[in-house]
Structure 1
């Protein structure tokens, strides 16, 4: 007698506050996804299909930050329905560029941006998914790297930990033979403290890394800030340099008092 076929693992892809770029990275993996098509069931992926099926899910990929009261309720529901939950992209792992609100008055922002701010429901902060529910793995980037994404999906299908390196962008520069921009040209660059994954794309074209993959595993920010100053950046310039896609993550590792008392920010 032929044994019954084993059910395929069920994949759910969910969006919170984000630009959809990381979900589009998944859609761009056309050739890489074809070999997986018969091995997984895409049960929930609104960006790709209107065929939405209820949980439970074996693997949930979550893009976006928690920025509204509705998000708070929904992220807990997604977690409860998912065996494994992986956050993808800077918004989901670090609050995203919208986390700039965490250092300002969100009521003032809302009044400036919207003609009828009273109709807008939002939280005072934009926070990563891990601030609210347990997360099994975080895949960084803005947007994420397609090769790393495929590694994460296949790893969880195989029941193993994803093999994603935790070194800095400087390692990637050395591997592709890129001249160090700060050393050779005095170009400000966050490569020494930024998580690898982009292939050191910006330095390869003469632009300093601006940290879109967030802090590396052991960033030496006390050494990084004086280096940026020596490359001609003021403290205000450095704050703006860090106030991008991973503002909350870089703020967490910034030495207290190193940039004019920023530790007193709300």
Structure 2
């Protein structure tokens, strides 16, 4: 890789939170700008989407026909492609529409003239359309992840994918377990670390923002949630909130009772 590699940051369907993680780096962003040549970053006012770069960071999911064309060109123009955040890595909250029995009907429930809405039936992660070299999980990601990823690639190696369970981070920081002591449906046992255990630090259960951890015991945790008094559909919504995954097996019955 060149001494000063070129970088682009692209946006698809998302809230811009992951791009803001870049802008919120403060002085570290100024230092980063001195180490790389940023060719495209609309959020920061640098515009050249067709630029050929060493590394492309992509935020957002694929939800329109134009998106499918754009991502193909971005992939061709980049040596490495890294996705940022839940939307780009798993489809994001907008992928909840993938779980609908009749996904094509939802625009008519919202818009008076749905025929003008250019939207695919599904919200898909970037990897469903092109090769992805590395994924940064989170909703949103944080500045530390960006710094670590770019720092590693400047040294000529791929970033480390940390899938350690959030529970380990809670123990390191001495946080009281919200699942055991409060009886809250905490997703920490099946969620990867990365946020610094932010919610448990303030006594709140984890929402699963950073995606699935290593060796997740989803079914066991789902049954524990039933034991807390949650109904089956409430447990399913808990698991699908940030990273909707229809293929995830929870082993639950319906109507609030286990089969």
Count of residues paired in the alignment: 253
Give, in whole Å, the separation in 1 of the partners of 2:188 and 2:119. Answer: 34
Structure 1 unmatched runs, 5+:
1-5, 262-266
Instruction: Give the secondary structure class of the aligned counterpart of 1:38.
Output: helix
Give the conservation status (yes or no) of the 8 Å contact 1:101–1:125: yes
Instruction: Give the secondary structure class of the aligned counterpart of 1:192.
Output: helix
Q: Structure 2 vs 1, CA of residues 180 and 106 (structure 1 numbering), >3 Å: closer, same or farther?
A: same
Structure 2 partner of 1:203? 200
Q: TM-score, normalised by structure 2?
A: 0.93
* Per-residue deviation, 1:154: 1.3
Structure 1 partner of 2:223? 226
In structure 2, which of residues 54, 57, 61 is the aligned counterpart of residue 58 of structure 1? Answer: 54
Once the two structures are superposed, residues 135-160 of structure 1 have per-residue CA deviations (whole angstroms, 9 ceiling, x without a partner) of 00000000002111110111112211
Give, in whole Å, the separation in 1 of the partners of 2:148 and 2:198. Answer: 20
* Per-residue deviation, 1:228: 1.0
Structure 2 partner of 1:260? 254
In structure 2, which of residues 136, 143, 146 is the aligned counterpart of residue 146 of structure 1? Answer: 143
Q: Structure 2 vs 1, CA of residues 219 and 53 (structure 1 numbering), >3 Å: closer, same or farther?
A: closer
Structure 2 partner of 1:190? 187
Structure 2 partner of 1:100? 96
Give, in whole Å, the separation in 1 of the partners of 2:47 and 2:219. Answer: 50
Give the conservation status (yes or no) of the 8 Å contact 1:182–1:231: no
Task: Please state if 1:15 is matched with 2:11.
Answer: yes
Q: Structure 2 vs 1, CA of residues 239 and 38 (structure 1 numbering), >3 Å: closer, same or farther?
A: same
* Per-residue deviation, 1:108: 2.3
Give, in whole Å, the separation in 1 of the partners of 2:92 and 2:253. Answer: 21
- Per mean C-alpha deviation after superposition, the further-off stretch among 83-92 and 215-224 is 215-224
- Per mean C-alpha deviation after superposition, the further-off stretch among 213-222 and 91-100 is 213-222
Q: Structure 2 vs 1, CA of residues 194 and 121 (structure 1 numbering), >3 Å: closer, same or farther?
A: same
Give the conservation status (yes or no) of the 8 Å contact 2:163–2:212: no
Task: Please state if 1:33 is matched with 2:35.
Answer: no
Structure 2 partner of 1:173? 170
Q: Structure 2 vs 1, CA of residues 259 and 57 (structure 1 numbering), >3 Å: closer, same or farther?
A: farther
Root-mean-square deviation (Å): 1.6
Task: Please state if 1:87 is matched with 2:87.
Answer: no
Give, in whole Å, the separation in 2 of the partners of 1:62 and 1:27. Answer: 15
Give, in whole Å, the separation in 1 of the partners of 2:176 and 2:199. Answer: 12
Give, in whole Å, the separation in 1 of the partners of 2:247 and 2:154. Answer: 33
Give, in whole Å, the separation in 1 of the partners of 2:199 and 2:47. Answer: 38
Give the conservation status (yes or no) of the 8 Å contact 1:59–1:84: yes
- Per mean C-alpha deviation after superposition, the further-off stretch among 233-242 and 57-66 is 233-242
Once the two structures are superposed, residues 204-245 of structure 1 have per-residue CA deviations (whole angstroms, 9 ceiling, x without a partner) of 111111111111122111211111111221101112212212
Structure 1 partner of 2:132? 135
* Per-residue deviation, 1:54: 3.5
After the TM superposition, which residues 214-253 of structure 1 pair with which residues of structure 2 at under 5 Å, given as runs? 214-248=211-245, 251-253=246-248
Structure 2 unmatched runs, 5+:
none
